[in-house]
Amino acid sequence: MAAYTKFTDEQLVILLKKDDPQAFTEIYSRYAESLAGFAASKLYSLDDARDILHDIFVKLWENREELHITSNLQSYLFTVIRHRIIDKIRKNITREEYAAVRQSLNAVYQDSIEKGLEARELQQTIEKSLDQLPPRVKEIYKLSREQELSNREIAEKLNLSEQTVKNQLSAALKHLRKTLTVLLIFAAVLARLL
């Protein structure tokens, strides 16, 4: 093995192409530490640096027969690792952006679920409040708000005067306002307690 330390990089590459595992080991011994340090300084993760270093040397061994180095071996290895570092950074950025988008979508989704639940609870409160009204007042309110009929159309449909419809609708709204005011006060007190 001592003889391999005396070989030049060019000689080691020639031996590597001839399936010489000792040439591969010598190349690893010469450059692994500096390549790992370079990768770790760019990636801020020793594990990522080790993974990239491992991949580079595995590919070097697997593709040894087709290896075509136009510059010196050190420049070749640092160029390869630099490209791998850039790829890793791009993947990390993409993952981080994806995670951020996913997190914001989850927050929006959660917010919309909560708002949906609040809207449903509010609708149930309104329904309970409407059930407390006399049947005719409730009917006028529903025709006005749910079927969106005008006061004149409600009056014609129920054979009532327009003024009666206005009065009954006003009574329904006053009753609902009271219910909702109590509900808002309760919510405010509860929020202070929590």
> What are the residue boundaries of the structural domains of the chain, listed by start?
2-97, 132-193
pLDDT-derived band of residue 54, with 50, 70 and 90 as boundaries?
very high
Q: What is the CATH number of domain 2-97?
A: 1.10.1740.10
Residue 95 reports pLDDT greater than 60? yes
What is the percentage of the chain residues whose pLDDT exceeds 70? 79
Residue 155 reports pLDDT greater than 80? yes
pLDDT at position 55: 92
Mean pLDDT (the chain, rounded): 81
Query: Which residue from 31, 48, 59, 114 is spatially nearest to 85, judged by alpha carbons?
Result: 48
Residue 32 reports pLDDT greater than 80? yes
Can you give the pTM of this predicted structure? 0.50
DSSP H or E stretch at residue 34: helix 21-43
Q: Dihedral, CA atoms, 73, 75, 76, 80, nearest 10 degrees?
A: 140
| 132-193 fold | Arc Repressor Mutant, subunit A (1.10.10)
| Whole-Å CA distances, 115 to 107, 108, 109, 138, 189 | 12, 10, 10, 26, 20
